[in-house]
Amino acid sequence: MEYTTLGRTGLKVSVMGLGCGGPSRIGQSAGISEADSIRIVKHALESGINFIDTAEVYRTEHIVGKGIKNVDRENIIISTKKSTWGTLTPKDVQKSFERSLENLGTDYIDIYHLHGVILKDYDYLYSEIVPTLLELKDQDKIHFLGITERFNPDPNHSMLQRALQDDIWDVMMVGFNILNQSARDLVLAKAMEKNIGILIMFAVRLALSRPKRLKECLNELIEKNQLDPSDINMDDPLKFLIHEGGAENLVDAAYRFCRYEPGTHVILSGTGNFSHLKNNLESILRPPLPETDLIKLRKIFKNVDSISGQ
Ligand SMILES: NC(=O)c1ccc[n+]([C@@H]2O[C@H](COP(=O)([O-])OP(=O)(O)OC[C@H]3O[C@@H](n4cnc5c(N)ncnc54)[C@H](OP(=O)(O)O)[C@@H]3O)[C@@H](O)[C@H]2O)c1
């Protein structure tokens, strides 16, 4: 495994993190047993991953808690979150935070995020909820504050652009992938200036793991005039990435694309499948995609800021 420093937190984190939400929820959405999901967590840790992202709303915190039970707490970085949809009160956050501690079997959270924030809610959360988070930080129960965007309805990062104007966020979770690279200019550039730790979600998601979904997304982009159809062969749209010296397959390309983007620190991989976990680890540790392929990807998708790749 390779490790890096998560921006101003100073935490030494593995460049791949285990995502325990997304479409997979470490296999819980596909119906695998709790014991197998616990084995995924343990296997990730044994492979050198020390960064685990979960959230109260994923209903996987207790699985993570069981997976990390016999590991020294200081060797694991736990990122979890409080969802922000609905009207949130400081009391809700307090209760939720205590439940997360209990589920995870720990007495502190390394990074506690406001989860899936949209622009319209940002000012309320900043003035009414952040003070509670800062109190928890003063008590050393939260080590660093994070914020995550809701990438599906906010694919051009309007909320994170607002959040970047404030100085309290140590970590941000950003949607970024081959299809929608808009975070490069809209978020990552400023985040680098402020030395904010960046976690990447949606590296693969559905569009880059299912060929049918990829074509649907590309057709949507053509309709929206964000993709020039002459730039892409719809029979096998991203085939040019797969060649000797290039990517092994599209998922491999997708993780490597994110891994080497300047300003990113941890690439989250959400899976409940042991062979996917192994393959994804191998991908993240391979070298960058060839520069010619990267230039082509930047050109083809330069205008895209309207889809998440869901
Ligand atoms: N707003 C938020 O805060 C927010 C939103 C979304 C996600 N997240 C976090 O970010 C994490 C990662 O996000 P993501 O779900 O977008 O992750 P991702 O790693 O981009 O995509 C996960 C999807 O890809 C599939 N997959 C993974 N590896 C594969 C492989 N080698 N071959 C084929 N399919 C593969 C998974 O299914 P299998 O289980 O079959 O492998 C799953 O359906 C989440 O788990 C969660 O922790 C946060």
Q: How much is the pLDDT for 101?
A: 98
Residue 217's alpha-carbon distances to 142, 146, 151, 178, 208, in angstroms, are 38, 30, 15, 12, 10
Q: Which residue among 114, 273, 283, 285 has the greatest number of ligand 1 atoms within 8 angstroms of its CB, and so is best to mutate?
A: 273
| Closest atom of ligand 1 relative to the 279 alpha carbon | 31
Tell if the pTM clears 0.95, that is, is over it. Answer: yes
Q: Is the Cβ–Cβ distance between 182 and 149 less than 8 Å? A: no
Burial class (CB within 10 angstroms; exposed 0-12, middle 13-18, buried 19+) of 267? buried
| Closest atom of ligand 1 relative to the 29 alpha carbon | 39
The Cα–Cα gap between 216 and 127 comes to 40
Take residue 199 and report the two structure tokens written for it.
Answer: 């976690």
The Cα–Cα gap between 158 and 111 comes to 22
- Which domains does the chain show, CATH number per domain? 3-300 (3.20.20.100)
Residue 128's alpha-carbon distances to 84, 131, 193, 276, in angstroms, are 12, 7, 27, 41
Angle between helices 130-138 and 90-104 (to 10 degrees): 50
| Distance from Cα 127 to the centre of ligand 1, integer Å | 32
Residue 290 Cβ < 6 Å to ligand 1:
no
Take residue 282 and report the two structure tokens written for it.
Answer: 């191998």
Nearest CA to ligand 1 atom 13: 201
**pLDDT per residue of the chain (310 residues) written in tens, 0 to 9:** 999 999 999 999 999 999 999 999 999 999 999 999 999 999 999 999 999 999 999 999 999 999 999 999 999 999 999 999 888 999 999 999 999 999 999 999 999 999 999 999 999 999 999 999 999 999 999 999 999 999 999 999 999 999 999 999 999 999 999 999 999 999 999 999 999 999 999 999 999 999 999 999 999 999 999 999 999 999 999 999 999 999 999 999 999 999 999 999 999 999 999 999 999 999 999 999 999 999 999 999 999 999 999 9
Question: What string of H, E and C letters represents the secondary structure of 123-183?
Answer: HHHHHHHHHHHHHHHHCCCEEEEEEEECCCCCCCCHHHHHHCCCCCCCEEEEECCCCCCCH
Residue 150 Cβ < 6 Å to ligand 1:
yes
Nearest CA to ligand 1 atom 30: 276
Q: Is the Cβ–Cβ distance between 15 and 2 less than 8 Å? A: yes
Residue 21 Cβ < 6 Å to ligand 1:
yes
Residue 82 Cβ < 6 Å to ligand 1:
no
Take residue 100 and report the two structure tokens written for it.
Answer: 């997360």
Residue 273 Cβ < 6 Å to ligand 1:
yes
Residue 263 Cβ < 6 Å to ligand 1:
no
Q: How much is the pLDDT for 287?
A: 98
| Distance from Cα 213 to the centre of ligand 1, integer Å | 15
Q: Is the Cβ–Cβ distance between 51 and 18 less than 8 Å? A: yes
The Cα–Cα gap between 76 and 106 comes to 11
Q: Is the Cβ–Cβ distance between 208 and 310 less than 8 Å? A: no
Residue 7 Cβ < 6 Å to ligand 1:
no
Q: How much is the pLDDT for 86?
A: 85
pLDDT digits (tens, 9 = 90+) for 163-217: 999 999 999 999 999 999 999 999 999 999 999 999 999 999 999 999 999 999 9
CB neighbours of 246 closer than 8 A, spacing ≥ 6? 253, 289, 290, 293
pLDDT digits (tens, 9 = 90+) for 81-100: 999 988 899 999 999 999 99
Angle between helices 274-285 and 34-46 (to 10 degrees): 20
Residue 111 Cβ < 6 Å to ligand 1:
no
| Closest atom of ligand 1 relative to the 268 alpha carbon | 12
Q: How much is the pLDDT for 102?
A: 98
Nearest CA to ligand 1 atom 47: 19
| Distance from Cα 54 to the centre of ligand 1, integer Å | 12
Nearest CA to ligand 1 atom 39: 271
Q: Is the Cβ–Cβ distance between 130 and 168 less than 8 Å? A: yes
The Cα–Cα gap between 81 and 114 comes to 6
| Distance from Cα 24 to the centre of ligand 1, integer Å | 6
The Cα–Cα gap between 294 and 85 comes to 37
Q: Is the Cβ–Cβ distance between 16 and 266 less than 8 Å? A: yes
Q: How much is the pLDDT for 87?
A: 87
